[in-house]
Amino acid sequence: MKLKWIALAILACAMSAQAQERVDHREQSVVNEDGGQSYLVLPATAPMVAVKPGAMGLGDLQQHSVFLGSGWTDQSLRKREYALGNLLLNVPKHPEFEELLAAGIKIYSPTWSVEKPDVAANRTISDLEIQNILSQMLGDGPAPTADSLFIVFLDPTLHSTLGPLVAEKHYIAYHGFFNSEGTKVHYVVVPFQSDSKEAYQIALRALIVAALHTDETPH
Protein backbone atom coordinates (compact mmCIF):
# COMPACT_ATOMS: atom_id res chain seq x y z
CA MET A 1 0.00 0.00 0.00
CA LYS A 2 1.55 3.25 -1.05
CA LEU A 3 1.57 6.07 1.48
CA LYS A 4 0.19 8.40 -1.19
CA TRP A 5 -2.95 6.22 -1.26
CA ILE A 6 -3.20 6.54 2.50
CA ALA A 7 -2.92 10.33 2.38
CA LEU A 8 -5.58 10.55 -0.29
CA ALA A 9 -7.86 8.15 1.55
CA ILE A 10 -7.73 10.15 4.76
CA LEU A 11 -8.33 13.34 2.79
CA ALA A 12 -11.30 11.79 1.02
CA CYS A 13 -12.79 10.63 4.30
CA ALA A 14 -12.92 14.26 5.42
CA MET A 15 -14.19 15.87 2.19
CA SER A 16 -17.31 17.24 3.86
CA ALA A 17 -15.31 20.07 5.42
CA GLN A 18 -14.27 22.97 3.22
CA ALA A 19 -10.98 24.18 4.71
CA GLN A 20 -7.73 22.25 4.51
CA GLU A 21 -5.66 21.62 7.58
CA ARG A 22 -2.27 23.29 7.76
CA VAL A 23 0.73 21.02 8.25
CA ASP A 24 1.66 22.70 11.53
CA HIS A 25 -1.84 22.09 12.89
CA ARG A 26 -1.67 18.29 12.85
CA GLU A 27 1.30 17.61 15.14
CA GLN A 28 3.44 19.42 17.70
CA SER A 29 7.07 18.69 18.51
CA VAL A 30 7.99 18.19 22.19
CA VAL A 31 11.09 17.03 24.06
CA ASN A 32 10.62 13.48 25.29
CA GLU A 33 12.03 11.67 28.33
CA ASP A 34 15.39 10.78 26.77
CA GLY A 35 16.03 14.30 25.46
CA GLY A 36 14.94 13.53 21.92
CA GLN A 37 11.81 14.61 20.06
CA SER A 38 8.32 13.19 20.05
CA TYR A 39 5.33 14.53 18.15
CA LEU A 40 1.93 15.06 19.71
CA VAL A 41 -0.94 14.18 17.40
CA LEU A 42 -3.35 17.11 17.57
CA PRO A 43 -7.15 16.82 17.17
CA ALA A 44 -8.44 17.32 13.63
CA THR A 45 -9.59 20.81 12.67
CA ALA A 46 -10.13 20.21 8.92
CA PRO A 47 -9.17 17.78 6.15
CA MET A 48 -5.46 17.13 5.87
CA VAL A 49 -3.63 18.81 3.02
CA ALA A 50 -3.18 16.40 0.11
CA VAL A 51 0.31 15.12 -0.56
CA LYS A 52 1.47 15.21 -4.17
CA PRO A 53 2.48 11.76 -5.44
CA GLY A 54 6.23 11.29 -5.20
CA ALA A 55 6.74 14.52 -3.26
CA MET A 56 7.99 12.73 -0.14
CA GLY A 57 9.62 9.61 -1.55
CA LEU A 58 6.58 7.62 -0.50
CA GLY A 59 6.98 3.87 0.00
CA ASP A 60 5.01 0.90 1.32
CA LEU A 61 3.50 1.30 4.78
CA GLN A 62 3.60 -1.68 7.11
CA GLN A 63 1.33 -1.36 10.15
CA HIS A 64 2.61 -3.39 13.11
CA SER A 65 0.21 -3.29 16.07
CA VAL A 66 1.05 -4.03 19.71
CA PHE A 67 -1.92 -4.37 22.06
CA LEU A 68 -0.38 -3.62 25.41
CA GLY A 69 -1.97 -4.75 28.67
CA SER A 70 -4.11 -7.66 29.87
CA GLY A 71 -7.30 -5.70 29.16
CA TRP A 72 -7.04 -6.66 25.48
CA THR A 73 -7.71 -10.31 26.39
CA ASP A 74 -11.29 -9.34 27.27
CA GLN A 75 -13.64 -10.85 24.68
CA SER A 76 -15.67 -7.61 24.57
CA LEU A 77 -12.68 -5.87 22.94
CA ARG A 78 -12.00 -8.47 20.24
CA LYS A 79 -13.97 -6.68 17.54
CA ARG A 80 -12.31 -3.37 18.37
CA GLU A 81 -8.86 -4.96 18.39
CA TYR A 82 -9.38 -6.31 14.89
CA ALA A 83 -10.51 -2.89 13.62
CA LEU A 84 -7.55 -1.10 15.19
CA GLY A 85 -5.08 -3.71 13.98
CA ASN A 86 -6.32 -3.26 10.40
CA LEU A 87 -6.93 0.47 10.22
CA LEU A 88 -6.83 0.86 6.46
CA LEU A 89 -8.82 -2.30 5.75
CA ASN A 90 -11.72 -0.82 7.69
CA VAL A 91 -11.86 2.45 5.75
CA PRO A 92 -14.40 0.89 3.32
CA LYS A 93 -16.94 0.89 6.17
CA HIS A 94 -17.08 4.67 5.94
CA PRO A 95 -19.83 6.38 3.89
CA GLU A 96 -17.14 7.94 1.69
CA PHE A 97 -16.05 4.55 0.33
CA GLU A 98 -17.69 5.22 -3.05
CA GLU A 99 -15.67 8.42 -3.33
CA LEU A 100 -12.50 6.45 -2.64
CA LEU A 101 -13.38 3.92 -5.33
CA ALA A 102 -14.15 6.69 -7.80
CA ALA A 103 -10.73 8.20 -7.10
CA GLY A 104 -9.07 4.86 -7.87
CA ILE A 105 -7.76 4.49 -4.32
CA LYS A 106 -6.88 0.93 -3.30
CA ILE A 107 -7.53 0.07 0.33
CA TYR A 108 -5.06 -2.59 1.35
CA SER A 109 -2.37 -2.77 4.00
CA PRO A 110 -0.58 -5.93 5.20
CA THR A 111 -0.40 -5.88 8.98
CA TRP A 112 1.16 -7.70 11.91
CA SER A 113 -0.44 -7.69 15.36
CA VAL A 114 0.42 -9.11 18.75
CA GLU A 115 -1.03 -8.92 22.24
CA LYS A 116 1.30 -8.33 25.17
CA PRO A 117 -0.74 -8.85 28.36
CA ASP A 118 2.20 -9.44 30.70
CA VAL A 119 2.59 -5.87 31.93
CA ALA A 120 1.54 -4.54 35.32
CA ALA A 121 -1.92 -2.96 35.18
CA ASN A 122 -3.68 0.03 36.78
CA ARG A 123 -0.82 2.53 36.51
CA THR A 124 0.85 5.13 34.35
CA ILE A 125 3.24 3.99 31.64
CA SER A 126 6.02 6.24 30.38
CA ASP A 127 7.37 6.68 26.88
CA LEU A 128 10.73 5.20 27.88
CA GLU A 129 9.05 2.05 29.19
CA ILE A 130 7.13 1.68 25.93
CA GLN A 131 10.38 2.06 23.97
CA ASN A 132 11.99 -0.64 26.12
CA ILE A 133 9.04 -2.99 25.60
CA LEU A 134 9.20 -2.50 21.83
CA SER A 135 12.97 -3.06 21.81
CA GLN A 136 12.53 -6.38 23.61
CA MET A 137 9.77 -7.46 21.22
CA LEU A 138 11.63 -6.72 17.99
CA GLY A 139 13.54 -9.99 18.15
CA ASP A 140 10.29 -11.97 18.01
CA GLY A 141 8.44 -9.84 15.47
CA PRO A 142 9.05 -8.41 12.02
CA ALA A 143 12.37 -6.67 11.53
CA PRO A 144 11.71 -2.92 11.34
CA THR A 145 12.34 -1.17 8.05
CA ALA A 146 12.04 2.43 6.90
CA ASP A 147 8.40 1.66 6.01
CA SER A 148 7.47 0.05 9.35
CA LEU A 149 5.14 1.84 11.72
CA PHE A 150 4.64 0.25 15.15
CA ILE A 151 1.36 1.30 16.75
CA VAL A 152 1.06 0.65 20.49
CA PHE A 153 -2.54 0.48 21.69
CA LEU A 154 -2.87 0.81 25.47
CA ASP A 155 -5.54 -1.08 27.38
CA PRO A 156 -7.96 0.75 29.75
CA THR A 157 -5.69 0.25 32.79
CA LEU A 158 -2.55 1.84 31.34
CA HIS A 159 -2.36 5.64 31.39
CA SER A 160 0.13 7.21 29.02
CA THR A 161 2.62 9.90 30.03
CA LEU A 162 5.24 11.65 27.92
CA GLY A 163 7.59 13.45 30.28
CA PRO A 164 5.37 15.91 32.17
CA LEU A 165 2.55 15.53 29.64
CA VAL A 166 -0.49 13.35 30.27
CA ALA A 167 -2.78 11.63 27.75
CA GLU A 168 -6.24 13.14 27.23
CA LYS A 169 -5.15 16.35 28.94
CA HIS A 170 -2.24 17.20 26.62
CA TYR A 171 -2.55 14.82 23.65
CA ILE A 172 -4.78 12.23 21.99
CA ALA A 173 -1.80 10.20 20.73
CA TYR A 174 1.86 10.73 19.86
CA HIS A 175 4.59 9.31 17.67
CA GLY A 176 8.35 9.26 17.76
CA PHE A 177 11.54 7.39 16.94
CA PHE A 178 14.22 5.44 18.78
CA ASN A 179 17.24 3.40 17.74
CA SER A 180 17.44 -0.32 18.44
CA GLU A 181 20.64 -2.14 17.49
CA GLY A 182 21.38 0.40 14.79
CA THR A 183 17.84 0.42 13.38
CA LYS A 184 15.58 3.47 13.53
CA VAL A 185 12.16 2.45 14.85
CA HIS A 186 9.12 4.65 14.17
CA TYR A 187 6.29 4.12 16.65
CA VAL A 188 2.93 5.55 17.68
CA VAL A 189 1.27 5.40 21.11
CA VAL A 190 -2.52 5.47 21.21
CA PRO A 191 -4.16 5.74 24.66
CA PHE A 192 -7.39 3.84 25.25
CA GLN A 193 -10.69 5.52 24.40
CA SER A 194 -13.96 4.28 25.88
CA ASP A 195 -15.91 5.04 22.69
CA SER A 196 -14.96 2.57 19.95
CA LYS A 197 -15.77 4.93 17.07
CA GLU A 198 -13.65 7.70 18.58
CA ALA A 199 -10.86 5.18 19.24
CA TYR A 200 -10.82 4.20 15.57
CA GLN A 201 -10.84 7.81 14.33
CA ILE A 202 -7.99 8.81 16.65
CA ALA A 203 -5.92 5.76 15.69
CA LEU A 204 -6.49 6.39 11.99
CA ARG A 205 -5.47 10.04 12.37
CA ALA A 206 -2.38 9.05 14.36
CA LEU A 207 -1.38 6.61 11.63
CA ILE A 208 -1.67 9.15 8.83
CA VAL A 209 0.07 11.94 10.78
CA ALA A 210 2.96 9.60 11.58
CA ALA A 211 3.10 8.20 8.05
CA LEU A 212 3.34 11.68 6.51
CA HIS A 213 5.86 13.00 9.01
CA THR A 214 9.11 14.39 7.67
CA ASP A 215 11.99 16.11 9.44
CA GLU A 216 11.17 19.19 7.40
CA THR A 217 7.66 19.44 8.91
CA PRO A 218 7.37 22.84 10.64
CA HIS A 219 6.36 22.90 14.30
Q: Note the pLDDT tens digit of each residue in 107-125.
A: 555 678 999 999 999 999 9
Mean pLDDT, residues 172-188: 92
- Predicted pLDDT at 108: 56
Q: Flag whether pLDDT at 152 surpasses 80.
A: yes
- Predicted pLDDT at 9: 44
- Predicted pLDDT at 147: 78
Q: What is the pTM of this model?
A: 0.79
Mean pLDDT, residues 179-197: 93
With cut-offs at 50, 70 and 90, classify the pLDDT of residue 132.
very high
- Predicted pLDDT at 104: 42
Q: Over the chain, what HEC string results?
A: CEHHHHHHHHHHHCCCCCCCECHHHCEEEEECCCCCEEEEECCCCCCECCCCCCCCCCCECEEEEEEECHHHHCHHHHHHHHHHHCCCCCHHHCCCHHHHHHCCCCCCCCEEEEEECCCCCCEEECHHHHHHHHHHHCCCCCCCCCCEEEEEEECCCEEEEECCEEECCCECEEEEEEEECCEEEEEEEECCCCCHHHHHHHHHHHHHHHHCCCCCCCC
Average pLDDT, the chain: 78
Higher pLDDT residue, 180 or 195? 195
The domain ranges of the chain are 3-211
- Predicted pLDDT at 144: 86
With cut-offs at 50, 70 and 90, classify the pLDDT of residue 15.
very low
- Predicted pLDDT at 196: 94
Q: Flag whether pLDDT at 189 surpasses 70.
A: yes
Q: What is the pLDDT of residues 38-93, one digit of tens each?
A: 999 988 776 555 443 333 333 467 889 999 999 999 999 999 999 999 887 766 55
Higher pLDDT residue, 26 or 138? 138
